[in-house]
Structure 1
Amino acid sequence: MPRRGRTRTLTRAALLATAGLMALSACGGEGAGPRLELSAALPDSPPDGTVLRVGDPATQVALETSGLIDDLDIEVEWANITGGPKTLEAFRADAIDIGSVADIPPLFAHWTGTDVRIVAARETVDPAEHPTYELGVAPGVDVTSIEDLKGKKIAYSPGQAQGALVLNVLREAGLTQDDVELVEMQSVDDAFSVALAGKQVDVAPLGQTLVKTYLAKYERDGATTIQPGVRDDAWTLYTPTTVLEDADKAAAIKEYVAAWAKAQQWISDNPDEFAEAYYVDHEGLTPEDAQYVVDALGEFTVPTSWDEFIARHQETVDTLVKEQDQEPLEVETLYDRRYEKAIADAVEGS
């Protein structure tokens, strides 16, 4: 009898406590599958007993809430890990097989010596009206347009999507790094909003989960936000190439990305239910703040052709090469397009 969405959730603390043991064996421990060349066709399905370790809590909630998890015929160990730095840390500890991040973390994984591939992509239906980030402005600072960023201190996280956003905004405003003061820090938890409130920086990119709470706390003191004016909606699933070289894991990822694609569509079609299940129950937001976030982010779409998505990603790469002196990269080499068809089949067949 096939397994139906059998899952187990690992907390980050438990995950990292066992990371040393897990790192002793490649591709997720004993019983690794046959070696699969990256150019070979994906197996149809993984054998019984294959476990996929996933850092993607939003999709976990969407699958469980929607009931789509019953269609997932692989065993999943869920890790409550999000964001580029934590996901890369988990990859390097051989603690997860696949993670959910924006488009910048896979680039920095590559540039810092971890060989990875992107296996899924997501974007926003109307990115101009529904930016992923807004630019938070510290209380008392006069910034009403991106041109006003000149001379300001801006929070900057080079290895995260927020860092690329800052560079793209400066380019859009006709400014360079020399026109502002970039204050380097990681955007973890509410670090950027705390830096804004303490006036350590004048401006910082804030994800929509933080915008409402930031304004609720500090708008009375003069805090504001402005739109970034550039596209910032790219989202990916990525994995170490060592995982894809394990035939069993590669087949499990094929099943997972198909379920992931359906989950993204369910999120778009059921924003109120997702807001309650994920942002309220899982993330601890108030119902009002959760509703604000899903309204702000808008609807998602999973492209069945990656050509335009990759072309936009290359533009971002070229910006980082120029502004951060990174090594030139043909970004398409980071995409495993074998999964493009698996996703297209799932989306078009749903």
Structure 2
Amino acid sequence: MPRFRHVAIAAVLFAPPLLVGCATDDAESGATDEELAAAEIPEAVDPETTLTVGTPEAQIAFELSGLIDEIPFTVEWANISGGPQCSEAFRADALDVCSAAEIPSIHAHWTGLDTKLVAANFRQDPVDHPIYQLGIAPGADVQSLADLRGKRIAFSPGQAQGALVLRVLDAAGLTTDDVELVEIPSTGDVYPTALGNGEVDVAPIGGVNIRRYVEQYGPDGGTTIHHGLRDDPGHLWVPTSTVADPQKAAAVREFIGLWAQALTWANDHPEEWIQGYYVEDQGLSVEDGEYLVEQNGDPDFLSDWSDAIERQQQTIELLAAELDRETFDAETLFDRRFETVAADALADAGSGGS
């Protein structure tokens, strides 16, 4: 079993107690995975349908692009994103759609929360444009993955950063017994601060924190290194009960197509995106926005999820082995009725796709 040390863990990161067994039946909708996969989605969405959506970044892209006016139903926007927040909102029946990486759906399955992934967004050059880099604390003397042995590494179970740590260790030929995992929430600038204060030796840091960490702690010896792995899966994630409802499923389908167009618009209009999102909404500087646009690379909306599901299966097996959980079939996490929706919408709009 891995060695853990706990430091100021936020209560929201802890999932509810595990349920005994995780059947593939959806207790709330009454539909099995097979029945759901066979259910036809209505061609037209009822304009009276309402979806509560937690995709704050995409919401701005909808607004800036004008695509928000093309949504043919009611959207109630929620300032919620990421695994822990979305899971809690799903459990409270307060959210229909959210944006999340690949890990939250896995942990949701293990805790008996029945959900589906309905859209997949990757990056066209994932290794050259990683979401995260490994922040190295001053004096930690880590120059490559091989140097991680014996180090204190920030770890956030149930989130993308936590899974990345396990993948990095696996790539380095190490296990969790070879390092000390320090449980720390990955929100905000917690990881850079933990590195700078010497609480940990290594932590995955992303976004503008990469740039700021080097600026702040570089003079003291703080650095970053590339992990060399793909870390870019992004999804739209829903409770199974949402897509088991025919009209909500139709609304989700329409939303996915417009979502892909909105994110593509943001990528194609960097100056407007930097000003409207990074500066005006997030309060960052223009320089920070330019850095993030350069880091992000181009989006890639897959029309075939086979590779994504295979990757998800590998992640499930890695997490199960390291965290003492039961493995399961990754296919059950995906609703493949929506597989081609994003790419088809982009093709219809003349924006490409893959």
Per the TM alignment, residue 230 of structure 1 is displaced from its structure 2 partner at its CA by: 1.0
Per the TM alignment, residue 183 of structure 1 is displaced from its structure 2 partner at its CA by: 0.6
Residues 1:284 and 2:292 are matched in the alignment: no
Q: Using structure 2 for the length normalisation, give the TM-score.
A: 0.86
What's 2:236 paired with? 237
Aligned partner of residue 72 in structure 2, secondary structure: coil
Q: Retained in 1: the 8 A contact 2:302–2:340?
A: no
CA displacement, residues 103-138 of structure 1 (integer Å, 9 cap, x when unaligned)? 111111111110000000011100110001011111
Per the TM alignment, residue 257 of structure 1 is displaced from its structure 2 partner at its CA by: 0.5
Counting only pairs closer than 5 Å after superposition, residues 1-350 of structure 1 correspond to structure 2 as: 38=36, 39-350=38-349
Q: Retained in 2: the 8 A contact 1:74–1:255?
A: no
Q: Within 2, Cα distance between the matches of 1:283 and 1:140? A: 32
Per the TM alignment, residue 178 of structure 1 is displaced from its structure 2 partner at its CA by: 1.2
Per the TM alignment, residue 213 of structure 1 is displaced from its structure 2 partner at its CA by: 1.9
In structure 2, list runs of 5 or more residues that go unmatched.
1-28, 350-354
Which letter maps to 2:289? Answer: A
Greater shift in the superposed pair: 145-154 or 269-278: 269-278
Which letter maps to 2:221? Answer: G
CA displacement, residues 291-311 of structure 1 (integer Å, 9 cap, x when unaligned)? 111111211110111111211
Aligned-pair Cα RMSD in Å:
1.7
Report the CA distance shift for 1:140/1:272 in structure 2 as closer, same or farther (over 3 A): farther
CA displacement, residues 135-155 of structure 1 (integer Å, 9 cap, x when unaligned)? 111122211111111111000
Q: Within 2, Cα distance between the matches of 1:150 and 1:275? A: 39
Aligned pairs, number: 317
Which letter maps to 1:341? Answer: T
Per the TM alignment, residue 46 of structure 1 is displaced from its structure 2 partner at its CA by: 2.4
Q: Using structure 1 for the length normalisation, give the TM-score.
A: 0.87
Per the TM alignment, residue 275 of structure 1 is displaced from its structure 2 partner at its CA by: 2.2
Aligned partner of residue 228 in structure 2, secondary structure: coil
What's 2:3 paired with? none
What's 1:15 paired with? none
Q: Retained in 2: the 8 A contact 1:156–1:185?
A: yes
Q: Within 2, Cα distance between the matches of 1:75 and 1:217? A: 44
Q: Within 1, Cα distance between the matches of 2:208 and 2:200? A: 20
Per the TM alignment, residue 272 of structure 1 is displaced from its structure 2 partner at its CA by: 3.0
Per the TM alignment, residue 45 of structure 1 is displaced from its structure 2 partner at its CA by: 2.5
Per the TM alignment, residue 187 of structure 1 is displaced from its structure 2 partner at its CA by: 1.1
Which letter maps to 1:173? Answer: A
Q: Within 1, Cα distance between the matches of 2:303 and 2:152? A: 40
Q: Within 2, Cα distance between the matches of 1:81 and 1:138? A: 31
Aligned partner of residue 256 in structure 2, secondary structure: helix
Per the TM alignment, residue 223 of structure 1 is displaced from its structure 2 partner at its CA by: 1.2
Q: Within 2, Cα distance between the matches of 1:72 and 1:343? A: 15
Q: Within 2, Cα distance between the matches of 1:76 and 1:217? A: 41
Q: Within 1, Cα distance between the matches of 2:262 and 2:197? A: 39
Q: Within 1, Cα distance between the matches of 2:283 and 2:294? A: 17
Greater shift in the superposed pair: 165-174 or 240-249: 240-249
Greater shift in the superposed pair: 190-199 or 267-276: 267-276
Which letter maps to 2:335? Answer: D
Greater shift in the superposed pair: 204-213 or 98-107: 204-213
Q: Retained in 2: the 8 A contact 1:124–1:300?
A: yes
CA displacement, residues 162-193 of structure 1 (integer Å, 9 cap, x when unaligned)? 01100111111111111110011221222212
Per the TM alignment, residue 248 of structure 1 is displaced from its structure 2 partner at its CA by: 1.9
Which letter maps to 1:55? Answer: G
Q: Retained in 2: the 8 A contact 1:213–1:289?
A: no
CA displacement, residues 319-344 of structure 1 (integer Å, 9 cap, x when unaligned)? 11222122111111111011113323
Q: Within 2, Cα distance between the matches of 1:100 and 1:252? A: 16
Q: Within 1, Cα distance between the matches of 2:279 and 2:335? A: 34
Q: Within 2, Cα distance between the matches of 1:120 and 1:254? A: 9
In structure 1, list runs of 5 or more residues that go unmatched.
1-32
Q: Within 2, Cα distance between the matches of 1:107 and 1:271? A: 33
Which letter maps to 2:76? Answer: E
Q: Retained in 1: the 8 A contact 2:47–2:72?
A: no
CA displacement, residues 44-75 of structure 1 (integer Å, 9 cap, x when unaligned)? 22223211111001111111111122222121
Identity of aligned residues (%): 49
What's 1:4 paired with? none
